[in-house]
Structure 1
Amino acid sequence: MCDLMTQQDLPSNGTLPQNLERLHLILVTLYSINLAGGIAGVIVMARQLFQRNIQSMTPIIIINLMVVHSILLLSLPFRLTYYISSEWKFGWFTCKMFSAMIYTHMYITFIFYVAIIIIRLLRLEFQRWYTKTWITAVWFVGTLVIFPIFLSYYGTSKNYNHSKCFQFHRDIQEQGMMIANYCMIGIIVATVSALSIIQLVIIFQLAMKYWPDMNSHVEFRAQIKSFFFILVILVCFIPHHVFRIYYNQNFPPEDDHNLFLYNEIFLAITALCCLDMLCFIAGIAH
């Protein structure tokens, strides 16, 4: 659960070895896609939602997803600047804040996705005050629990080079962070596995019930759209957490820049969930 990247042994002329330059290019490409697609999706989706009379729970969650995505998108230009120039110029606290932000974004987004899936699976309808209460609780956990934990752990080592950023690899060796890593990996993998099985079983049952005209039934289409959120989790979040198991067990030496950057690439993939608004606009999941 640490945002990892170190380049302390770069040549004095500031150029990167070819393999590191290639990995940097991948990072720049991923974050550029996240930034451009995320901004476009948030703007268009915001216009659509503000033209509606929002009463149901799912649109309210989508609005909150827009907010949490927007907060992350504000940090991406700083990440892009760093990966392009290989030098952090925005202060040490800002580095720690942006490092914590991407993980806070991932876990809040995960909670909202799971909520949408469960609501559609169980066909739940809540009163407006109840919806606002639990959404407020999610934001409370994210901003006053998850974010401060990352912020307090990051940068505790005194050996960091402040002209570099996202290099909090030493802090992962703390026992508390190791335990938190494995706990979050277990929770996310178990949750996604259970929801995937349940969702697939329901889709299969509905397909058998309404065959061959299942696409004409709202119930079947709703469950197919719900499966979209599981796919986003599987594509964006699971690879990072699976890689974290390997990373924790094969903690890299100081000169192994590749493994640090591979972790950063998997972390960048988690931010691809910001493109979900484009799917909402296309009607794939909404």
Structure 2
Amino acid sequence: MPAHNNSSCDPILTPHLTRLYGTVFVGGLAGVISILFLLVKMNTRSVTTTAVVNLVVVHSVFLLTVPFRLTYLVQRRWLLGLPFCKFVSAMLHIHMYLTFLFYLVILVIRYLVFFKRKDRVEFYRKLHAVAASAGLWLLVAVIVVPLLASQYGSYNVYSDEDCFKFHKELMHPYVRGINYLIVTLFVATAVVLLAFQTFIIVSMMRKLRRSFLSHQEFWAQLKNLFFIGVVLTCFLPYQLFRIYYLYTVANSRTCNNDVAFYNEIFLSVTAISCFDLLLFVLGGSHWFKQKIIDLWNCLLCR
């Protein structure tokens, strides 16, 4: 029996999701292509560069699953089997958390560079960078993928033709507990990163005063703020709403359709993070920097 016949919790499919994922696919693909030209000029032994390369891989793998989501949103029927549905559904979550992980690596490395007054943090050899990346993906392949394959959507029976509707898993206290723990760690880490970045930028502005825009180090810290901005705008709203959503599921026998719909919307917004590569390339351009300098000078003249 199809899932939509026995559950009042199914999110309503709307053209909004179709347009959003379509835009994410085009913008994300443009970002991946544009960053490849920039990576050719970057130091391959840099830990930051290695993290960016892995970020490109994460976005690319996720973008490969987006057309299947779009096909389902248009046809409103899944024809590729439940196991592949679970994989495509889980990829949205994997993409969010791996993207956040690589953001965390980039930011921590840059904080170490700032506080220890180093020029950069590098691997001793290029092979070490490759080995570190291979080790991480091996860890994902050996632990994360089998765990998701065996546990994701395993507590209930679902229809082969209805996809991305595994909310009934949250009825189980064990699953809710894990979700609460993940949300807590995610929000706490985001707050700490924001606090560190705010302290660094404010201290630099006080030290350099009006000439801070002419220092390369300040622009590097401004890029850090860009990563945190993506976390705050794309990831954090979903995590915060997740708390309310989990509470609603735990305290209601009949799920609120509006709550399930908004949860799906917030979850889809996390995919907009695929634009980070495109914005990262545009933000590093001389034209963008000059516009910021002109704007700041204009504000000072008033």
- Give the TM interval when normalised to the shorter protein: 0.7 to 0.9
Give yes or no for contact 1:108–1:139 (8 Å, CA) kept in 2.
no
Which structure 2 residue ranges, 5 or more long, are not aligned? 114-119, 286-302
SS at match of 2:210: coil
**Cα distance change on mapping 1:149 and 1:78 into 2, 3 Å:** same
* Offset, 1:206: 0.3
Measure the CA separation in 1 of the matches of 2:130 and 2:266. Answer: 33
* Offset, 1:219: 1.6
Aligned length: 271
SS at match of 2:163: coil
Measure the CA separation in 2 of the matches of 1:173 and 1:235. Answer: 28
Give yes or no for contact 1:38–1:274 (8 Å, CA) kept in 2.
yes
* Offset, 1:136: 3.8
Amino acid at match of 1:39: L
SS at match of 1:259: helix
Can you list the C-alpha shifts for 1:115-136, whole angstroms capped at 9, x where unaligned?
A: 1111111115132455445444
Relative contact order (alpha carbons < 8 A, sep ≥ 6): 1 or 2 greater?
1
Amino acid at match of 2:22: S
* Offset, 1:97: 0.8
**Cα distance change on mapping 1:66 and 1:104 into 2, 3 Å:** same
**Where does 1:18-29 land on structure 2 (aligned, <5 Å)?**
20=12, 24-29=14-19
* Offset, 1:7: 3.7
Which structure 1 residue ranges, 5 or more long, are not aligned? 1-5, 11-18
Amino acid at match of 2:260: F
Deviates more, 1:138-147 or 1:169-178: 138-147
Q: Does 1:125 align with 2:115?
A: no
Measure the CA separation in 1 of the matches of 2:196 and 2:135. Answer: 26
Measure the CA separation in 2 of the matches of 1:140 and 1:195. Answer: 27
Give yes or no for contact 2:180–2:243 (8 Å, CA) kept in 1.
yes
Q: Does 1:236 align with 2:234?
A: yes
Measure the CA separation in 1 of the matches of 2:103 and 2:211. Answer: 28
* Offset, 1:176: 2.8
The ranges of structure 1 where at least 4 consecutive aligned residues each deviate by more than 6 angstroms after the TM superposition are none
**Cα distance change on mapping 1:244 and 1:255 into 2, 3 Å:** closer
2:27 counterpart residue number: 37
TM-score for the superposition, normalised by structure 2: 0.82
**Cα distance change on mapping 1:232 and 1:215 into 2, 3 Å:** same
TM-score for the superposition, normalised by structure 1: 0.86
* Offset, 1:48: 3.1
* Offset, 1:155: 2.9
**Cα distance change on mapping 1:175 and 1:9 into 2, 3 Å:** closer
**Cα distance change on mapping 1:138 and 1:240 into 2, 3 Å:** farther
Q: Does 1:63 align with 2:53?
A: yes
Please provide the CA RMSD for this pair.
Answer: 2.4
**Cα distance change on mapping 1:136 and 1:174 into 2, 3 Å:** farther
Which structure has the greater CA radius of gyration? Answer: 2
2:283 counterpart residue number: 283
Give yes or no for contact 1:108–1:138 (8 Å, CA) kept in 2.
no
* Offset, 1:38: 0.5
Measure the CA separation in 2 of the matches of 1:79 and 1:278. Answer: 22
Amino acid at match of 2:261: L
1:151 counterpart residue number: 149
**Where does 1:87-236 land on structure 2 (aligned, <5 Å)?**
87-123=77-113, 125-127=121-123, 128=125, 131-236=129-234
* Offset, 1:214: 0.4
Percent identical: 37
Deviates more, 1:224-233 or 1:43-52: 43-52
SS at match of 1:155: coil
* Offset, 1:53: 5.4
Measure the CA separation in 1 of the matches of 2:197 and 2:141. Answer: 30
Give yes or no for contact 1:45–1:281 (8 Å, CA) kept in 2.
yes
Give yes or no for contact 1:104–1:142 (8 Å, CA) kept in 2.
no
Give yes or no for contact 2:212–2:218 (8 Å, CA) kept in 1.
yes
Can you list the C-alpha shifts for 1:230-282, whole angstroms capped at 9, x where unaligned?
A: 11111111111111101110016667433222212111111111111101221
SS at match of 1:250: helix
